[in-house]
Every structure is written in structure tokens, then in C-alpha cells.
Amino acid sequence: MKLYETTILIDSTLKSDEMRNLIDKIGNFISNHGGNIVKVDEWGKRRLAYEIKKKQYGYYVNIRFSGPAALSGLLEREYRLIDSVLRHLTVKIDPLVLKSEEESAKARRAEAGEEPWEEVIPSEAEEDEEAVA
């Protein structure tokens, strides 16, 4: 299974419940065709640099998922069938990009003064104390 990221630009004139239904529909499509959604990131309503289908605003959604190679083609076809989707882009994510994202997230946490999460391995003395209790 390969890791993909798809960004879609949805017509911002849709009502919030219609937009939620559309995002859920896309998520269900991915799941029904052998994919697994890793993260859904809604960027929100933004002004477009140029009009698309006579629209000046769009609602951006980014979905990261893993799935078989054929899924990206099926997803692109599904986007073309949905009139509310103004633009879409699906790309395969390189493992090196994931590694650099994790490193930058650790650096941001360190700058913010947060302690990085570490797994605590109990010592043998603590295990003996737990067994006695």
C-alpha cells in the first residue's frame, strides 16, 4: 500500500452540511476501494487567485490516505463526476518527505518547550514492586 495525499477545492457556496456530506462521501469512497484514511485536514474557505467556473472563493480539503495504486485513478475519475469539486490534485508521498515532516515537527515542539514523547520502560525494581502490590 502506497501513501497518497489528495487536495480538493470545493465550491464554497455549498452549505456546511452539504460540504460535510461531500467530504464523508470521498472518505467512504477511499475506504470502500481498499484505502485507509490517515488524516483529513480542512484548510477552510480561501479567496482564489483567479476565478474558476465563475467562483471567487473555494473551500480547501487535504486528505492523506494509503491504498493500492489503482485507487488514485479511481479517485480522480470520481472527482470529475462531482460538480461541486472545482479542482483536485492527488500525489504519491515520498517516504523521505514523511521523515522530514516528522523531524520538523519534533523541532517545532522543542522550540515551543514541549517535552518529546518518550516511552517509559520500567526498571526491574519497579516491576518487582508492582508484582508485590
Domain residue ranges in the chain: 2-98
What is the rounded average pLDDT for all residues in the chain?
85
Nearest to 82 by CA among 37, 26, 15: 26
Output the pLDDT for position 56.
Answer: 94
Task: Identify the burial level of 52 via C-beta atoms within 10 angstroms of its C-beta, where 0-12 means exposed, 13-18 middle and 19 or more buried.
Answer: middle
More confident residue, 133 or 36: 36
Nearest to 61 by CA among 3, 11, 1, 98: 11
Output the pLDDT for position 123.
Answer: 52
Output the pLDDT for position 132.
Answer: 53
CATH class of the domain comprising 2-98: alpha beta
**pTM for this structure?**
0.74
Instruction: Give the tens place of pLDDT for each residue, 87-126.
Output: 999 999 887 877 887 888 888 888 877 665 554 455 555 5
Distance CA 87, CA 57 (A): 12
Helix (H) or strand (E) holding 45: strand 36-52
Output the pLDDT for position 115.
Answer: 63
Output the pLDDT for position 120.
Answer: 47
Nearest to 57 by CA among 49, 44, 65, 48: 48
pLDDT reading at 27 higher than 50: yes
Output the pLDDT for position 58.
Answer: 95
Distance CA 11, CA 57 (A): 7
Taking the CB of residue 106, how many other CB atoms lie within 10 A of it? 13
Instruction: Give the tens place of pLDDT for each residue, 40-92.
Output: 999 999 999 999 999 999 999 999 999 998 999 999 999 999 999 999 999 99
